[in-house]
Amino acid sequence: MTDYRLELHRIKRTDPSENENFAIRNASTYGLVEVVQELLKDSRVDPSAKNNQAIQYASQNGHTETVRLLLGDPRVDPSDDDNFAIIYASEGGHVDIVRLLLEDPRVDPSISGNWAIRLASQRGHVDVVRLLLTDPRVDPSSNDNEAIWFARQKGHLEIVQLLTEHSFRVDGPEYNKNIL
Q: What is the pLDDT, as a whole number, of residue 132?
A: 98
With respect to residue 22, please indicate whether it lies within any of the assigned structural domains.
Answer: yes
What is the rounded CA–CA span in Å between residue 176 and residue 180? 9
Q: Is 169 inside a domain boundary?
A: no
30: three-class secondary structure by DSSP: coil
Residue 6 is predicted with a pLDDT of 52
Number of domains composing the chain = 1
Domain annotation covers residue 86: no
Domain span at residue 63?
A: 1-77
The mean predicted confidence, pLDDT, of the chain is 90
Residue 62 belongs to a domain: yes
Structural domain includes residue 171: no
CA atoms within 13 A on the CB side of 47: 30
Q: Is 180 exposed, middle or buried (0-12, 13-18, 19+ CB in 10 A)?
A: exposed
CA–CA distances in Å: residue 162 to residues 1, 134, 147, 149, 166? 40, 12, 11, 13, 7
| Torsion of the alpha carbons at 6, 9, 14 and 20, rounded to the nearest 10 | 70
DSSP state of 109: T
- Residue-level pLDDT at 14: 82
Q: Is residue 129 part of a domain?
A: no
26 found inside a domain? yes
| pLDDT < 70 positions in the chain | 1-12, 167-180
Asked whether residue 138 is domain-assigned, the answer is no
What pLDDT score does 174 carry?
A: 45
